[in-house]
Amino acid sequence: MINMVFLGPPGAGKGTQSAYIIEDYGLVQISTGDILRAAVKAGTELGKEAKVYMDGGQLVPDELIVGMMKERLKQDDCKNGVIFDGFPRTIAQAEALDKMLNEDLKTEVTHIISLDVADELLVERAVGRRSCPECGKVYHIKYNPPKTGGVCDADGATLIHRDDDQEDTIKNRLKVYHETTSLLKGYYNESGKFHEIDGEGDPKDVYKKIKGILG
Ligand code: ADP
Ligand code: AMP
């Protein structure tokens, strides 16, 4: 069984690659960013609390994220293997994940794949990213445009440019990644399950490298 942690800065291509992995390996993708955005949209207490941090490009506090993940992992679809996308982002979250998987699900993280992309390219990717507010599908105005301008190929919804994908906020998010989240490479490096790959090429070429790792 595969339980994969997808590491990498915002805009590295984790969501894009997750879509390919899901098709071939039948895993479920758990994106903490997607869960939080759904909570903000629904106006829940969690959403209201998280929004302030998200708008500023800061991390949402660990207690909220870990509590949210604990609930998510109770669902049956996690039993066949999971892609953790955008989680963990701190050492405390990584420790909590190990504990939840070991104690509650009697399993463990099997692969850690980190996508490496230069900051200038990440800014360009985020600034050009367009997302479907209905199904979450992700496009890029230059690298992966929708068939018809501004609307989702899958459901025809008008695509949005996320508030936190504006240039100023994305720069904050990259700073937070370099200062905090990138430390997870050290946390996982010793495990023998850690793989760092170049995420700058064509999405299909990046995916070939991921398949080489997942087998
Ligand atoms: P993440 O989930 O890591 O934040 P996404 O998968 O949403 O990243 O990708 C960020 C943006 O970059 C999207 O607009 C996506 O279409 C685009 N993108 C993803 N991978 C590539 C790639 N290999 N080359 C060019 N653009 C890409
Ligand atoms: P993402 O969609 O993964 O880029 O996440 C968007 C935003 O949600 C981040 O900038 C954070 O504010 C918040 N967020 C998502 N996942 C986490 C996490 N694991 N820990 C803390 N904050 C998170």
* Distance of alpha carbon 145 from alpha carbon 147, whole angstroms: 7
Q: What's the pLDDT band for 101 if we cut at 50, 70, 90? A: very high
Long-range pairs for 17-21 at CB < 8 Å and ≥24 separation? 17/115, 17/203, 17/206, 17/207, 17/210, 18/83, 18/85, 19/137, 20/203, 20/207, 20/210, 21/83, 21/207, 21/210, 21/214
What's the CATH code, domain 2-27+80-118+176-214?
3.40.50.300
Q: What is the pLDDT of residue 139?
A: 96
Pocket of ligand 1, beta carbon within 6 A: 8, 10-16, 125, 128-129, 138-140, 143-144, 203, 206
The predicted model gives 193-204 an average pLDDT of: 96
Scan for tokens 């420790």, then name that residue.
95
Among protein residues, the one whose CA lies closest to atom 2 of ligand 2: 33
Residues with active-site annotation? 14, 89, 129, 162, 173
Cα within 13 Å of Cα(191), Cβ side: 18
- What is the model's pLDDT at position 149? 87
Residue 165 Cα, ligand 1 centroid: separation in angstroms?
Answer: 12
Q: According to the 3-state scheme, what is the secondary structure of 174-206? A: HHHHHHCHHHHHHHHHCCCCEEEEECCCCHHHH
**What's the pLDDT tens digit per position in 164-190?**
999 999 999 999 999 999 999 999 998
CA–CA gap between residue 69 and residue 85 (Å, rounded): 12
pTM as predicted: 0.96
For residues 128-139, average pLDDT: 93
Task: Return the domain boundaries, the chain.
Answer: 2-27+80-118+176-214
pLDDT (tens digit per residue) in 11-67:
999 999 999 999 999 999 999 999 999 999 999 999 999 999 999 999 999 999 999
Locus of tokens 């759904």? 38
Q: Is 161 exposed, middle or buried (0-12, 13-18, 19+ CB in 10 A)?
A: middle
